[in-house]
Amino acid sequence: MSRIASVFKPGHKALIAYLTVGYPDIETTYKVASVLADSGCDIIELGIPFSDPLADGVTIQRASYQALKQGTSRQTCLEVAGKLSQKLTMPLVFMTYYNPVFSFGLEAFCRAVAGAGVDGLIIPDLPVEEGSELEAITRKLNLDLIYLLAPTSTGERVSIVAEKSGGFIYLVSLTGVTGARKTLPAELEEFVRRVRKKATQPLCVGFGIANAEQARRVAKVADGIIVGSRLIQLIEEDGTLSSLKTFISSLRVALG
């Protein structure tokens, strides 16, 4: 069992938090990671800044742009992950896009990721039908390659992802990009149930979760939640990070 899979103990709902490495600066990245760990997060998703983040909404796009302007590179992210993996006990996951992985070299990138103590990869623009080469490499290096499913995913796509996704399956709550929303789709529960019929992996829902009430609703049908845009907003609003700590603690309570 991988370190990511071991998070999903019976009766425990996972809290996965996203942060963009280097936003608003590297020092804050370390501070935010510590707050997340101390406030009840189970997994930290480290976003590697990219110039064309197709799956991300305006909040994460802006954070990625600012991090790139300050010189945050893939190597910077690997160094940050390496230091965090020595300091924190929780699993770390990189969220990136295929272009930065391909240009680095698939095996070279995965070896660098594993060497930094990262446990898995999320690559939103890598279709499961085209992931076999990367799957073979990640499997060899004991990395979880985590695939995404959307409400529009066909039954065939669900079956393939259920066969190949490592760690957990990332369920996109709605069609579109990341970003905090006031409401989640009415069809969310049915979407989770549809995937549950074919998948044995834990199911975690992301895209749009912005408050404890939404987290509580998702926890009734899924095994965890993924929160990102709202965290970045709170970092922007309160540099002391006290609001971030309060928010994460409220999610932890809502998840039980």
Active site residues: 45, 56
Q: What is the CA angle 59-64-67, rounded to 5?
A: 125
Phi/psi region, residue 47 (left: phi>0; alpha: psi -120 to 50; beta: rest), is beta
3-state helix, strand, coil split of the chain in percent (to 5) is 45, 15, 40
Cα dihedral 57, 245, 15, 49 in deg (nearest 10):
40
Spatial distance between the Cα atoms of 184 and 178, rounded to a whole number of angstroms: 12
Which residue blocks in 70-97 are alpha helix, DSSP H?
74-87
How many other C-beta atoms can be found within 10 angstroms of the C-beta atom of residue 186? 7
Query: Do you know the residue count of the chain?
Result: 256
Contacts of 130 (CB under 8 A, 6+ apart): none
Q: How far apart are CA 211 and CA 216, in angstroms?
A: 9
Distance in angstroms (rounded) separating the CA atoms of residues 144 and 54:
22
